[in-house]
Amino acid sequence: MKFFVDTANLQQIKEAHDLGILDGVTTNPSLMAKEGIQGTDAVMQHYKTICEMVDGDISAEVVSVDFNGMIDEGKKLAAIHPNIVVKVPMIKEGIKAIKWFTDNGIRTNCTLVFSAGQAILAAKAGASYVSPFIGRIDDSGWDGMALIHQIRQIFSLQGFQTEILAASIRNPNHIIQCAEAGADVCTCPLDAIMGLLKHPLTDIGLAKFLEDAKKFA
Ligand code: G3P
């Protein structure tokens, strides 16, 4: 399973990258706004900076909701760097745009996916990635991880090449469950990745080793 970090914060991207296990980055307009990135030029420059920091797929989201607008935006985003993957919302115009991008050699990430039916449509249109939002499904009282299992089963059975990119990850356990469910990618907040490191017995064990090491130093 590939690890992406789900942020537009350059310090967090650097910290995840420095771990040596980072395979890519996802962003969205909300994450961009959180970093105070405003205006088309600033957004494009920010994506360029991220591409220069991380050698992996970088999802850059369109904000148009009509076909022509999405195509126009997506072409500009894809021109920033070969690693850019154009992120397109799961709406009717988005599916048409994904098909157009597929036919024209531009890779896509279909975002805001909350059902298996939506995932099938995205795969049929040739999306490179499909992004089911686990945490938001859990937040609304449904079972986000069950959707990952369902999409994995369908994609494997049908031979769809679209990669399952589990998004809206809230905690380290989500990451472990995504790995168990066969997600191809997990895009995570930095603290969820760092949370995988933690175990009290590791801390206790290391303290004891270091204490004992003093005896023969
Ligand atoms: O990037 C899309 C997704 O990961 C958003 O997560 O936490 O806003 O539900 P969240």
Specify whether the CB–CB gap between 181 and 152 falls below 8 A.
yes
Residue 87 annotated among the catalytic residues of the structure: yes
Q: How remote is the CA of residue 146 from the centroid of ligand 1, in Å?
A: 18
Strand pairing partners for 3? 186
Report the atom number in ligand 1 closest to the C-alpha of 30: 8
User: Measured at the alpha carbon of residue 91, what is the angle toward residues 71 and 168, in degrees to the nearest 5?
Assistant: 100
The 10s digit of each residue's pLDDT in 89-99 is 999 999 999 99
- Residue 216 predicted with pLDDT over 90: no
pLDDT at 172: 97
The 10s digit of each residue's pLDDT in 153-194 is 999 999 999 999 999 999 999 999 999 999 999 999 999 999
The 10s digit of each residue's pLDDT in 137-155 is 999 999 999 999 999 999 9
> Quick one: CA dihedral 188, 190, 193, 195, positive or negative?
negative
CA distance 126 to 133: 19
In this structure, the residue with its CA closest to atom 8 of ligand 1 is 168
Beta carbon of 136 within 6 Å of any ligand 1 atom: yes
- Residue 217 predicted with pLDDT over 80: no
Q: Reduced to 3 states, what is the DSSP secondary structure of residue 50?
A: helix
Mean pLDDT of 121-145: 98
Residue 69 banded pLDDT, cuts 50, 70, 90: very high
